[in-house]
Amino acid sequence: MHFTLLSSDKHTGARRGRIHTAHGPVDTPVFMPVGTQATVKTLEPRDLEAEACQILLCNTYHLYLRPGHEVVKEVGGLHRFMGWDGAILTDSGGYQVLSLAKLRRITEEGVTFQSHLDGSRHVLTPERTIEIQLALGVDILMALDECPPHDADTAYHQASMERTLRWAARCRAVHPGDEPALFGIVQGGTLRTLRARSAEETRRIGFSGYALGGLGIGEGPAAMYTTVEETTALLPADAPRYLMGVGTPQDLLECMARGVDMFDCVLPTRNARNGTLFTSTGRVNIKGAAHACDGRPVEEGCTCYTCRHFSRAYLRHLYVAGEILGLRLNTIHNLHYYLDLMRQARQAIDAGRFPTWKDATLARLCVEPTTPQHTQEMHTND
């Protein structure tokens, strides 16, 4: 993998780039749909291809437990298993272990946990997560990290961040190359000095890309935006920056304005299955009785398959009747919205009009835009 920085916005930290992987290019800023169990829920690869999707995120924790990385390897790797020819990034499994597994215990060695599926005992170490991700055969691997609660005390944040650095070094030691790529993860909560040390030391170890972990977990948008801005300023310009697990349309715009290149989030797909649909003027709850006889599409002018063929009345009916097709049509629309938003962002950066596009887009969403404070630093940090 290698990364080409194509251009930088003059007024914000927004960047246009391209990640070159063994499974094709990935144009950044990019939103990666989440395919937890080797499927973006309800969708087929051809649906993602129809949206010009270039990269997916899959979850190592889930695939390790079921069907097992050895099974995936035996049938030809994750791409072949799920019929997806584009790029795949996997997380390390650490986040899911800490949020889903039972009786988890963190030691210097790694994380011991019981499966949420059958209670079986497992140990996830830095070396083991690399082994699992290599067996899956993906394009971008993530180093093992700990994501502490945002309101953990400073001492815990510090100790956890230092251990994450040692885990990062161990991951890099067993996988020193760039093919597949390995990304390090910057932690440190919203504590500026911890983030700075984490960024500096992670950068010193040296990775193909750098992720920002531990954000979008309750600290609030203002703190997140500030931390993102301060952290990207400390990361090399010639490597992609990935903000893990974030976020709302507003979050994407504000954080790409602060130098983030990659995002992933379950929001568009999970909201779709809850009947909440994204539009350029805000969210629509398709369950509402107001839609019962509404012959209009979710969004006028939207070019997704759902909006081209079906009315709000039909989508509401499918939802109320418990029909699986409704979950799928909603997912198609929401992912189209997210991927189209990123497409528009890339075009705006290319055309040198990112700030006005961002403000206009947020205004339509009735969201107050915020302005990055440290733009100068961003452009002088490497």
- Residues identified as active-site: 91, 264
Count CB-CB contacts under 10 A for residue 38.
20
Among positions 292, 360, 363, 364, the unique one binding a copy of itself when judged by CB under 8 A: 292
Among positions 163, 203, 317, 343, the unique one binding a copy of itself when judged by CB under 8 A: 317
**Measured at the alpha carbon of residue 239, what is the angle toward residues 237 and 240, in degrees to the nearest 5?**
105
Burial class (CB in 10 A: 0-12, 13-18, 19+), 306: buried
For the segment 327-346, give every residue that binds a copy of itself (CB under 8 A): 327-329
Element (H, E) at 114: strand 111-114
CB 13 within 8 A of CB 378: yes
Alpha carbon distance, N-terminus to C-terminus of the chain: 21
Report in angstroms how near the CB of residue 80 gets to a copy of itself at its nearest. Answer: 8
Element (H, E) at 72: helix 69-74
For the segment 60-119, give every residue that binds a copy of itself (CB under 8 A): 62, 66-67, 71, 74-76, 81-83
Q: What does the alpha-carbon distance between residue 296 and residue 279 come to, in Å, rounded to a whole number? A: 13
- Return the number of the residue (192 or 296) whose C-beta is nearest a copy of itself: 296
Q: Does 314 bind a copy of itself (CB under 8 A)?
A: yes
Q: Does 363 bind a copy of itself (CB under 8 A)?
A: no
Query: Which positions ≥6 away from 5 have C-beta within 8 Å?
Result: 15, 16, 17, 237, 238
Residue at 194: amino acid letter: L
**Measured at the alpha carbon of residue 378, what is the angle toward residues 372 and 382, in degrees to the nearest 5?**
170
- Return the number of the residue (46 or 380) whose C-beta is nearest a copy of itself: 46
Among positions 43, 256, 260, 277, the unique one binding a copy of itself when judged by CB under 8 A: 43
* CA 306 to centroid of chain Cα atoms: 24
Q: Does 286 bind a copy of itself (CB under 8 A)?
A: no
Among positions 39, 112, 285, 344, the unique one binding a copy of itself when judged by CB under 8 A: 39
* CA 99 to centroid of chain Cα atoms: 17
- Return the number of the residue (82 or 144) whose C-beta is nearest a copy of itself: 82
Binding mask 180-199 for a copy of itself (x = CB under 8 A): --------------------
Among positions 114, 280, 311, 370, the unique one binding a copy of itself when judged by CB under 8 A: 311
Among positions 18, 23, 41, 353, the unique one binding a copy of itself when judged by CB under 8 A: 41
Q: What does the alpha-carbon distance between residue 263 and residue 37 come to, in Å, rounded to a whole number? A: 19
Q: Please work out the total of residues on this chain that contact a copy of itself, with binding judged by CB under 8 A.
A: 40
Beta strand 30-32 with 24-28 is unpaired
- Return the number of the residue (5 or 320) whose C-beta is nearest a copy of itself: 320
Among positions 293, 347, 350, 363, the unique one binding a copy of itself when judged by CB under 8 A: 293
Which stretch, 169-177, 210-218, 277-285, 289-297, contacts a copy of itself (CB under 8 A)? Answer: 289-297
Structure tokens at 124: 């996830």
Which stretch, 41-49, 89-97, 171-179, 340-348, contacts a copy of itself (CB under 8 A)? Answer: 41-49
Select from 367, 350, 335 the least CA-distant residue to 40.
335
Site residues for a copy of itself per CB under 8 A: 37-39, 41-46, 62, 66-67, 71, 74-76, 81-83, 292-295, 305, 309-311, 313-314, 316-318, 320-321, 323-325, 327-329
